[in-house]
Amino acid sequence: MCKVSYTKKYIWNNQRCLWNAITKKRFVRSSVIKHDVTSTGTNTVMPSQISADQVYEFLHSHPDYLEHYIMDEVELEQLERWIIRKSQRLKKKPETPATKNGRKTSLSRWKFCVHADKRQMLQDLTQSLQLRPTKNQVLWELANCICSAVNADGFRLYLPDPINSGALLHYLGENLKGDRTMRQKGKIDISTYVAKTREAVRVSKGVNDSRFVPDLFYEDDVGHILCQAVMYPDGQLAAVLELWRRESESPFHEEDEEIACSYLVWGGIALHYAHLYLNMNQQRKLNDFLLTVVKSIFQDMVSMDLLVIKIMNFAQRLVDADRASLFLVDAKNQELYATIFDVGVDNTDDNTIFEDEEFTKIHTTKEIRFPLGTGIAGQVAMTGEILNIADAYADSRFNRTVDQLTGYKTNTILCMPIFIRGSVIGVVQMVNKHSGYFTKEDEEAFEMFAVYCGLALHHAKLYDKIRRSEQKYRVALEVLSYHNSCTDEEVEIITGEMPEFSVNIDNFYFNPFQWEDYEKARFAIYMFTDLFGLTRFDEQSLLRFVLTVKKNYRRVPYHNWSHGFSVAHCMYCIIKNSGTVFRSNECLALFIGALCHDLDHRGKNNKFMLDTESPLAAIYSTSTMEHHHFNQTVTILQQEGHNIFSKLSSSEYKQVLSLIKHCILATDLALFFPNKAKLSKLIQENSFSWNNQDHRLLIQAISMTASDLCASAKPWEVQVETVKVIFEEFYQQGDAERAAGLKPIPMMDRFQNDQQAASQVGFLTGICSPCYTLLHSVIPETKPLLNMCQDNLNHWTNIDSEIQQKKMKKNET
């Protein structure tokens, strides 16, 4: 007690002395300083003069005094500045460090160590992260730094076992080894203790510590241990660092612990940022990859299998697996079979894998097949749940036969189901993680890849289906074109000299009904030749074309070959009688357009197609049938030996085809009304011009409608004959509508046939008469059409009046 108070007093006295000597006066070694001391304490005895040598001597022989002084009086920042300055001086000029028991003291070693500058340490960490960007690498570097800073002889780094919670794995710089957890009669090893408590532990051999198992010194040579927890800033355990010194060295001190601690604080931050950096990097890579995958799904439609392999390859590198396989479900046989098996790691750069077709070795085999439910893959396929297996051979579900077959040893497995529309279509398997086991993060990343695998497979299946239906479509088209094309015999029949026609067909009064179908074909060929000659056209193609067109009109009551022919005939008369108003290619389009304008008509109108949701209406929502008629025209032209335009230049061909489309679409009565309004306006304003392309298109469209409705502009007998078949077709549509649960309009209802005359009056008044009036205004030579239409209208009006009178009389009686 007495000694203690003496020491305190002694220290206090000498502190005062030193304080004055160092801080109040200029301190020059070996010089004498005159010094007036003002006493502030009653016990103080101060020498009036003190030399620098004396101070130096004093401090040298009283290191404890110096330490107390520095601890009490020197600011931490000042202390750090000294340390840095000192370490920089030492870097330039190495000094022999002070030794204690033949080795550096902990504190001095820290000062000498280059890592005393923590900035340097952070730089080193960042650099190592760039070289090997893994979290474990940062920890490894950090451990090396601390080991060097506290002058430990070695260290062991333990990482939390991702699968076995609470257990640790020994990290050897590259890989993880074994389960570190050791338990013995309620005791655990040091690292597990530190992991659990997060307390730092300093212990030396021979010291019996009841907290740990006795075999804590795993190597004979290890004499002292300093074990500390490495934490993330969020308080999670990143690792446990176990530093050790040989038995011959001094034990770890509190300072060593503090040094390590200070490094660990910085290291924890570095680790946190490393984590962010890695995450960001990985996310960027992932985004780039997924973008490429999606692009590839839409662009490389044909190579979807390759895409699946690429996806797997990327996933494989992401989870660091040695092998990857894809098994597909064979639902019929309740089996799984390997389509992609044993894909090795591909080391190509992520950006190049999509350019390199031969990027990976792929073994595809159908020989690896096993029942659903067998093995890990079978289990996943059955349950649809992910399996992460740390030790395949210890798992009873593991199917060893595949290993026996391949000679490859499976240790760890990550197996994921692939779903398409809620059902498992296959499983993708990652085998043997290069270090340790597949983690929760691996599972999450892999899950997303399984989704993309599913997407790619789904697309592969869809494209396969499309390819197959394309082939089927081709076959169907071949069959169809065989049956829908004219035969050589048919061509033979109409080949040769055109017979002399006893009638003058160049007139609007011509009755198409009096001729047989073949004769109509002959007339059609004649009209074409008459209009265009045969110098620009191949005769054989023309024969085949006309005969095939004839064949492609269905045997419906009205919209049949007769109708097609009579419309072409009317157009022929318009062209013939209108002089040179239409240009050659326009005539070509008008005539061929008229001949083909109702190809493959089914006797039902556009509204019916829409109402009954026919596939045609799904393809063309407006002018449904007219689009189809044009398509049929093109299809016939494309058949072998049918292209009547083969001698035209490509620009002429394009122009004629585009005009044909315009002409055929114009036969949709829905388009007549706007066309009528436009042309009426032009005529009223007297601004119609044959030099204006739009006006020309307009009059072509009106000419098509006029030809299409020519039955109403024929002599009365022809009109009556035609109306019979028109209404028969209308009634058939009405019947079909009724059968489909729809209510037919009165005109199409066979039970309201007394409406025919009234309907004709309406039709001729509202549509036909305005059409021929307009046509007559622009092409006066079409006057007969207008006249006949007017005649027919008068007939129908009279008939309708009679019917109305009869009805009225009937009602009166």
Ligand X SMILES: Nc1nc2c(ncn2[C@@H]2O[C@@H]3COP(=O)(O)O[C@H]3[C@H]2O)c(=O)[nH]1
- Residue 21 or 793 having the CB closest to ligand X: 793
- Residue 307 or 625 having the CB closest to ligand X: 625
Beta strands (DSSP E) in 255-334 are: 321-330
Q: In 63-151, which residue ranges form alpha helices assigned H by DSSP?
A: 63-73, 76-92, 106-112, 118-131, 135-149
**Exposed, middle or buried, 628 (CB in 10 Å: 0-12/13-18/19+)?**
buried
Residues 6+ apart with CB under 8 A from 641: 540, 541, 544
What is the rounded distance in angstroms from the CA atom of residue 134 to the CA atom of residue 152?
25
Locate 173 and state its tokens. Answer: 């710089």
CA 658 to chain centre: 37
Q: Count other Cβ atoms within 10 Å, centred on residue 535.
A: 6
For residue 20, what is the DSSP state?
A: I
Locate 679 and state its tokens. Answer: 């042309």
- Residue 346 or 598 having the CB closest to ligand X: 598
Nearest residue to ligand X on Cβ basis: 763
- From the CB of 800, what's the least distance to ligand X, in Å? 13
What is each CA distance from 465 to 247, 429, 462, in whole angstroms?
74, 26, 5
- From the CB of 547, what's the least distance to ligand X, in Å? 22
Q: Count other Cβ atoms within 10 Å, centred on residue 483.
A: 9
**598 annotated among ligand-binding-site residues:** yes
3-state secondary structure at position 765: helix
- From the CB of 472, what's the least distance to ligand X, in Å? 31
- Residue 17 or 793 having the CB closest to ligand X: 793
Label residue 255 left, alpha or beta by phi (over 0 means left) and psi (-120 to 50 means alpha): alpha
> Nearest CA to 622 among 670, 688, 694?
670
What is the rounded distance in angstroms from the CA atom of residue 670 to the CA atom of residue 170?
82
- Residue 293 or 788 having the CB closest to ligand X: 788
What is the rounded distance in angstroms from the CA atom of residue 658 to the CA atom of residue 321?
59
Binding site for ligand X (CB under 6 A): 598, 605, 667, 669, 708-709, 711-712, 723, 726, 747, 759-760, 763
For 438-445, which contacts have Cβ atoms below 8 Å and span 24 or more sequence positions? 438/319, 438/321, 438/388, 438/412, 438/413, 438/414, 439/162, 439/163, 440/162, 442/318, 442/319, 442/320, 442/388, 442/414, 443/386, 443/388, 443/414, 443/416, 445/286, 445/315, 445/318, 445/319
- Residue 490 or 600 having the CB closest to ligand X: 600
- From the CB of 514, what's the least distance to ligand X, in Å? 19
**560 annotated among ligand-binding-site residues:** yes
DSSP letters, 565-626, are: HHHHHHHHHHHHHTTTSS-HHHHHHHHHHHHHTTTT--S--HHHHHHTT-HHHHH-SSSHHH
**563 annotated among ligand-binding-site residues:** yes
- Residue 250 or 566 having the CB closest to ligand X: 566
- From the CB of 307, what's the least distance to ligand X, in Å? 48
**68 annotated among ligand-binding-site residues:** no
DSSP letters, 146-177, are: HHHHTT-SEEEEEEE-SSSTT-EEEE-SS-EE
- Residue 388 or 712 having the CB closest to ligand X: 712
> 């059955």: which residue's tokens?
382
**760 annotated among ligand-binding-site residues:** yes
For residue 135, what is the DSSP state?
A: H
- From the CB of 538, what's the least distance to ligand X, in Å? 30
Active-site position among 115, 559, 601, 627: 559
- Residue 238 or 767 having the CB closest to ligand X: 767
- From the CB of 703, what's the least distance to ligand X, in Å? 14
- From the CB of 579, what's the least distance to ligand X, in Å? 27
CB contact at 8 A, 225 and 201: yes
- From the CB of 735, what's the least distance to ligand X, in Å? 16
559 is an active site residue = yes
**708 annotated among ligand-binding-site residues:** yes
CA 419 to chain centre: 16
**124 annotated among ligand-binding-site residues:** no
As annotated, the binding site for Zn(2+) includes 563, 597-598, 708
As annotated, the binding site for AMP includes 559-563, 598, 708, 760
Residues acting as catalytic residues: 559
As annotated, the binding site includes 559-563, 597-598, 708, 760
